[in-house]
């Protein structure tokens, strides 16, 4: 065991730092620098960021060169993620494309699909959204009702999807739709790539409890996509969507700790200023205990990331135990948000302005973390997966 980064890796880290220093405006990422607040601004910055990362050769670090990737490893990926978090770099708008669709295509796609879709995805020229959940198919995703029917050389897709992040910006959507209504529910589903810019697609914002519209609902009303835009065999979409899933659940944690560490520092700063019965909370044993517990959990997330990278290097795939990582970080982030609000005390209701010791970033963590234990598989679903697929406990009455 040796988890020191090699000199090549350290050189890469320097390159990333230089890149971030060059493209981000002076002072970016420091508490006093105004970050984009409106949805419109955030989207514009996100689009710009996708292109900028690509142009400087940092998109698809671990992906094959032949499809526009950099042909490097997960180590470079974690370094890039850490440095971006440290600089508070903007969030891109193609996370689902890069996190889910790209890896799915690399494993399940035809050569033609890879050549056609991956390079523009990495270049930020085509933005992707995900058409999985429906109003009555949340945790029980396989009970989805969106239908697809083959009409000549095109599939016609009809149904309504929800929780589709960035659908209003997206050029394409990867969609799970039912193609055989007579088959058992996991069997008759197909994985489609569907263009968003067509008359049969309607996008409406879904405002979440933060007051922002991060999600959308997308209505497909006979939306078209050519026959070759099916990934994997027809009626085998459930497997296609799932084979890559635990892999993804694992890799999305890489570099994530750095983001939480930033929030921890903000929280620590608030605890130094905020007063309790015994003076500043950072001097109060109760809060010190909770702060150190949280810090430990963030550090352990970093170590889980190293474990994932090591496994990827040795076996190039992850087992279902990666499911635990989504459970781990989402529940931890909820505790971080709650602790932050408690620390703010009487000033907690103030989201903005001088009254807020934390400039609002802790409020966003607090509210947003309520969604993290729900989307991409609720905590309850993750626990079922661990219990059944890792520990081998018997299935319960789910059908």
Partner 1 sequence: MDFSYSDEQFMMYDSVLGLMRQEAGPSACRKTYRHGSAVARQLAGKLADQGVLGGGASEAHGGSGLSLLDYALLFEAAGQTLLPFPLVESFVVTTILQAFGEKEQQERWLSAIVSGETIPTIAWGDDSGRFGTGGVQAVRARGRTRLFGRRKFVPFAEISGLVLTPVYSTELNGVFLTLLDPHRAGVEIEPLHSLDGSYPLASLILNGCTVEEGELVWQGGNLWERALALAQVALAQEALGVAEEVFRNTVEYVKVREQFGGPVGRFQAVKHVAAEDYLLLESTRVANRYAAWLVSEGSPEGPLYAKMAKAYASDMARRVTGDAIQLHGGIGFTWDSDVHLYFKRAWRLAQELGRSTDLREQMARRVVDGQLEEGDGYGYSL
Q: Which string of x and - marks every residue 4-33 that binds partner 1 (by CB under 8 A)?
A: xxx--xx-----------------------
- Of partner 1, a copy of itself, none, which one sits near residue 348, judging by CB under 5 to 8 A according to partner kind? partner 1
Asked whether the beta carbons of 230 and 192 are under 8 A apart, the reply is yes
Nearer to partner 1, 4 or 197 (CB): 4
Q: Which is nearer to a copy of itself, 276 or 360 (CB)?
A: 276
Residues 212-271 that bind a copy of itself (CB under 8 A): none
Is 248 a residue that touches partner 1 (CB under 8 A)? no
Per CB under 8 A, 394 contacts a copy of itself? no
Q: Which of the residues 51 through 80 are near partner 1 (CB under 8 A)?
A: 75, 78-79
From the list a copy of itself, partner 1, none, pick the one residue 242 interacts with, judged by a Cβ distance below 5 to 8 Å according to partner type. Answer: none
Q: Which of 320, 310, 306 is nearest to 254 (CA)?
A: 306
Question: DSSP readout, 48-64?
Answer: HHHHHHHHTT-TTTTS-
Unique residue bearing structure tokens 């026959």: 227
293 binds a copy of itself (CB under 8 A): no
For residue 273, the minimal CB distance to partner 1 (Å) is 9
CA atoms within 13 A on the CB side of 58: 25
Residue 199 as a binder of partner 1 (CB under 8 A): the answer is: no
278 binds a copy of itself (CB under 8 A): yes
Residues with Cβ within 8 Å of residue 332, at least 6 apart in sequence: 260, 294, 297, 298, 301
Interacting residues of 208 by C-beta distance below 8 A, sequence separation 6+? 214, 215, 371
Nearer to a copy of itself, 186 or 286 (CB): 286
H helix or E strand, kind and range, residue 366: helix 361-372
Q: How far apart are CA 172 and CA 169, in angstroms?
A: 9
Interface with a copy of itself, residue 126, by CB under 8 A? no
Query: Which among 163, 142, 208, 144 has a CA at the least distance from the CA of 376?
Result: 163
Helix, strand, or coil (residue 221): strand
Could you say whether residue 284 binds a copy of itself (CB under 8 A)? yes
Q: Using CB under 8 A, which of the segments 69-77, 119-127, 159-167, 283-291 binds a copy of itself?
A: 283-291
Determine which one of 212, 248, 299, 342 is catalytic.
Answer: 248
Q: Is 248 a catalytic residue?
A: yes
β-strands 189-195, 172-178: how paired?
A: antiparallel
Binding-site ranges for a copy of itself (CB under 8 A): 278, 284-289, 396-397
Catalytic residues: 248
């Amino acid at each position: 065991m040796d988890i020191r980064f090699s000199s090549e890796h350290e050189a890469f880290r320097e390159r990333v730092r230089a890149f971030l220093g060059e493209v981000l405006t002076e002072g970016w990422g420091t508490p006093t620098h105004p970050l984009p607040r409106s949805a419109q601004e955030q989207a514009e910055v996100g689009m710009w960021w996708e292109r900028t990362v690509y142009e400087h050769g940092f998109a698809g670090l671990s992906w094959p060169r032949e499809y526009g990737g950099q042909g490097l490893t997960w180590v470079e990926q974690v370094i890039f993620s850490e440095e971006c978090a440290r600089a508070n770099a903007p969030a891109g708008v193609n996370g689902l494309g890069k996190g889910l669709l790209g890896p799915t295509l690399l494993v399940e796609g035809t050569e033609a699909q890879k050549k056609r879709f991956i390079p523009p995805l990495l270049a930020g020229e085509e933005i992707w959204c995900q058409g999985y959940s429906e109003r009555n198919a949340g945790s029980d995703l396989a009970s989805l009702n969106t239908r697809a029917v083959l009409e000549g050389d095109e599939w016609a897709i009809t149904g309504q999807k929800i929780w589709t992040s960035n659908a209003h910006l997206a050029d394409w959507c990867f969609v799970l739709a039912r193609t055989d209504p007579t088959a058992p529910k996991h069997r008759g589903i197909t994985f489609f790539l569907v263009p968003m810019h067509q008359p049969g697609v309607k996008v409406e914002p879904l405002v979440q409890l933060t007051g922002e519209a991060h999600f959308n609902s997308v209505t497909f009303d006979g939306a078209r996509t050519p026959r070759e835009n099916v990934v994997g065999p027809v009626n085998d979409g459930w497997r296609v969507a799932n084979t890559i899933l635990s892999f993804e659940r694992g890799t999305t944690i890489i570099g994530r700790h750095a983001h939480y560490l930033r929030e921890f520092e903000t929280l620590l700063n608030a605890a130094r200023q905020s007063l309790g019965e015994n003076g500043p909370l950072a001097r109060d044993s109760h809060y010190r205990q909770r702060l150190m517990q949280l810090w430990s959990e963030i550090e352990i997330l970093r170590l889980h990331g190293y474990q994932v990278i090591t496994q990827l290097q040795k076996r190039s795939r992850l087992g279902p135990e990666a499911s635990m990582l989504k459970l781990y970080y989402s529940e931890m982030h909820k505790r971080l948000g709650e602790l932050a609000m408690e620390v703010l005390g009487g000033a907690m209701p103030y989201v903005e302005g001088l009254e807020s010791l934390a400039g609002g970033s802790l409020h966003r963590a607090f509210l947003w973390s309520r969604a993290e234990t729900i989307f991409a598989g609720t905590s309850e679903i993750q626990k079922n997966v661990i219990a059944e697929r890792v520990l081998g406990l018997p299935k319960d009455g789910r059908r």
